[in-house]
Structure 1
Amino acid sequence: MFDSNKFYKQRLSAHMKELSRYLRYMLNGHLMIALFFFISAIAVYYQQWLARLPEDFPTSLIIGVLLGILVSYSPVRTLLKEPDLVFLIAAENKMNAYFRNVLIYSFVIQLYVILFLTAALGPLYFASFPDRSGNMYLLTIAVVLIFKVGNLIANWWMLKVREPGVRRLDLTVRILLNMTVFFFIVNGDMLLAGITTVLFAGVFLYDSSVARKQPGIVWDLLVEKDQIRMQSFYRIANMFAEVPHLKNRIKKRHWLVSMVSRVPFTQSHTFDYLYRITFVRSGDYLGMYIRLIIIGGLFIYFIPNVWVQILFVILFLYLSCFQMMTLYQHHRTTMWLDIYPVGKDIRQQALIKLLFQLTLIQTILFSLLFLFMQEYAGFVIALVSGTVFTFLFINGYVKSKLT
């Protein structure tokens, strides 16, 4: 007889082994050093910023929005796979214990985000409301946990609805209600918070009634959602190790390809062309590169100390170069590259050239930000130190990893 509880334990065990396999590579020395530097710098300047916090700072609005988004984003990790579409449909009426367990698992693995965000927002809360006791903030955290459970269950019910428009509308309404509830709680308007909570309860009960009217579980939707989340994890893990399960997403971007693919039509530029269009079209290389530029620029702009700004310039150049190195292994499963009449040294030089061009562009953008802030000494230091670091890192570390 099929035991869904036992099946869940087997599926969870396999899932945890899969995660731990790649987390060993992801949580390496490079990443831990970068994280330590990030957290230390942010903590120092966060504390300094709180010391001169304006009296009219919209703390209630900011905390309300962040907590509302936090509880609204409550994905259900079903751990389902494509073969389950064939083998588990027949046992649908015996899967109650399995889905109850995945709901509990989904809540538990999201607790760390709740703890991290509430801990980060705590100093802002007490700096803005020094007359309030710690019990008030603990009460707010308790409400966060309750709303997290409610949104998780509501998301599960809406996964029984096939129409994406209905799911999007329901999520939009709940996000707005969640933000409003926490805005009123942080602002101290408990009566309005109670009224908004009643409205949320009405949406919650409506979702329950809609789910009960559905004919059954939408298995293909559950598998698709879980695959999307696993592919996101694999894309991050692929920065640190080879991931055979990764499915590369291809985006057309014709206009951008036409701009970057202008290379001489010669054998020696074969991989120049390939790596350029791969960077633009495949995976999330371009998006990751742009995000690092934006995030790095924000850190540089808001941090007041010029030497710490320079350190962040170097740090984000390192992160960009380190993550773009995976381009070299991107086509490892494409056997046609092995029959190209092109030497390995040409392939390596093509990647080194592209990495140098990308990091040099990033260095120039960071340096121009110093000009915008009228820090002329910082402009010169950022430009020189960024260029020197790029040259040394690529010709030292990157080359050694490509041999």
Structure 2
Amino acid sequence: MMDVDALFRERMQRFSAELIRYGQYMANGGVLMVAVFLCGLLAYYYPSLVQAIPSWVPVPYLLALVYAFFVTKTLHRTFLLEADLIFLTPAETKMDRYFQKTQVYNFVVQSIGLFLILLLLLPVYQGKVGMTGAQGWLYWGVPLILKGWNVYSSWIILRLPDKKRQTRYTLARFILTYYVLAWMLSQGSFLAYQHVPYGAVVWMVLLVWFMIRIQSIVKRHRYQWYSLLEMENRLRLRFYQIANQFRDVPSLQLRVKPRRWLLWTAQLIPYGKANAARTLYLKLFLRSDDLAGIYLRLVVISSLLILILPGALGKLAVIAVFLLMSASQLKGMGGQARHRSQTFLLPINEEQRKAAAVWVRRVLLLVQGAVNLLIGLAVWKW
């Protein structure tokens, strides 16, 4: 007899121990300090940013769009392993309780993230729309209830073998979620005429149709084990990619992307044996799935903050903090390259590897600093 409760506890304890261990490494790497500084910077400028929003901006509907995205986006951690395809699939009829526990875990974890988003954008809603009485309870309660419904319905939709049908059902979930949030945030004025919510009738019809459809999915389709394992592997890989920036993760399977539209930058390095290591490390960075993506996101986010934040002091603080964050992320470049077989195919010794990694990091930080400074100067002159 298989004890699914014991199986879930064992998987949960293993994941929690790994999360705590790598979380300590990330906290010791300076992430906590940077996060506290960014929160303080945001708290200082947030009131002026809220006041700068024009009166003609439909704040309730834009907030509903943002909230609907985070409410509808549901990733399901199942803690499945490769061997489960052999040992657990014969006991699929007994796995319902196990997957119910994973749904509760996903709801709790994702509700925490949703709560932080609601808390972050609360001043915008209070400053531009206002919130009194029962509206406060609705503001917090409705998105969390919708999150629970989305977790439940999206889990059923994952039984579908056709990805296109999954996408259509996800779009339907988004539309239903957006209507409720827009109606709640606009205090009942969304798709209403003379205080009569005619849109609610359409919403109820669509909701009944949607629930009937997904209940038929349960009867027709079983669990898609390969898809569930693929989703779990993607989530595990994402966690390992973040942790690998602070500590080498032995189980990390590195992925590469061609990115031919960026490889021309490696050709700017003069051809020669002395520059072989620099060319190799730059190409490894450009093709990496994690380092290049994190670096580009940091450049984009820092540029947006420079455009938004008023005052030269705030812009300079953003530039300094994000350069520090990029430097912390790029520290793992040398460790990743040592695990690649390409580094051993060229006549490059250990000193050249270290020097090349330092050179590439400096160039990337100079590029980021130059981009941020140019944007800051352009905004200041404008």
**TM score, norm. by length of structure 1:** 0.87
* Residues 177 and 196, structure 1, Cα contact 8 Å, conserved in 2: no
CA positional deviation for 1:256: 2.6
CA positional deviation for 1:120: 1.6
Give the corresponding residue for 2:371: 365
Give the corresponding residue for 2:150: 151
Give the corresponding residue for 2:236: 230
Within 2, Cα distance between the matches of 1:294 and 1:335? 32
Matched, 1:163 2:162: yes
Within 2, Cα distance between the matches of 1:55 and 1:254? 44
Q: What code does the residue aligned with 1:204 have?
A: M
* Residues 29 and 328, structure 2, Cα contact 8 Å, conserved in 1: no
Matched, 1:313 2:331: no
Taking the TM superposition and a 5 Å limit, the aligned residue runs for 1:260-271 are 260-271=266-277
Within 2, Cα distance between the matches of 1:4 and 1:192? 47
Gapped runs of 5+ residues in structure 1? Answer: 377-403
Give the corresponding residue for 2:134: 135
Within 2, Cα distance between the matches of 1:49 and 1:319? 24
Q: What code does the residue aligned with 1:314 have?
A: A
CA positional deviation for 1:242: 0.5
Higher relative CO (Cα under 8 Å, sequence separation at least 6) belongs to: 2
Give the corresponding residue for 1:399: none
> Counterpart of 1:317 in 2: which secondary structure?
helix
CA positional deviation for 1:53: 4.5
CA-based RMSD: 2.1
CA positional deviation for 1:266: 3.8
Within 2, Cα distance between the matches of 1:54 and 1:263? 48
Give the corresponding residue for 1:73: 73
Give the corresponding residue for 1:42: 42
Specify whether residues 373 and 37 from structure 1 end up closer, same or farther in structure 2 by C-alpha distance, changes over 3 A only: same
Q: What code does the residue aligned with 1:166 have?
A: R
CA positional deviation for 1:45: 1.3
* Residues 60 and 129, structure 2, Cα contact 8 Å, conserved in 1: no
CA positional deviation for 1:265: 4.7
Specify whether residues 4 and 193 from structure 1 end up closer, same or farther in structure 2 by C-alpha distance, changes over 3 A only: farther
Taking the TM superposition and a 5 Å limit, the aligned residue runs for 1:314-393 are 314-334=320-340, 337=343, 341-375=347-381
Deviations 1:125-152 (A, max 9, x none): 221233x414312123211122111111
Give the corresponding residue for 2:87: 87
Q: What code does the residue aligned with 2:216 have?
A: S
Give the corresponding residue for 1:184: 183
Q: 2:217 aligns with which of 192, 203, 210?
A: 210
> Counterpart of 1:110 in 2: which secondary structure?
helix
Give the corresponding residue for 1:386: none
* Residues 184 and 193, structure 1, Cα contact 8 Å, conserved in 2: no
Specify whether residues 254 and 139 from structure 1 end up closer, same or farther in structure 2 by C-alpha distance, changes over 3 A only: closer
* Residues 266 and 283, structure 2, Cα contact 8 Å, conserved in 1: yes
Give the corresponding residue for 2:194: none
Q: What code does the residue aligned with 1:113 have?
A: G
Q: 2:291 aligns with which of 273, 285, 293?
A: 285
Deviations 1:90-136 (A, max 9, x none): 11111121011111111111121121111122222221233x41431
Identity of aligned residues (%): 26
Q: What code does the residue aligned with 1:173 have?
A: A
Give the corresponding residue for 2:106: 106
CA positional deviation for 1:287: 2.2
Within 2, Cα distance between the matches of 1:139 and 1:374? 41
CA positional deviation for 1:188: 1.6
Matched, 1:272 2:271: no
CA positional deviation for 1:205: 3.0
Gapped runs of 5+ residues in structure 2? Answer: 190-196
CA positional deviation for 1:220: 0.6
Q: What code does the residue aligned with 2:83 have?
A: P
Deviations 1:168-224 (A, max 9, x none): 11111211221222112111227356335422343133112123211x211111100
Q: What code does the residue aligned with 2:348 have?
A: V
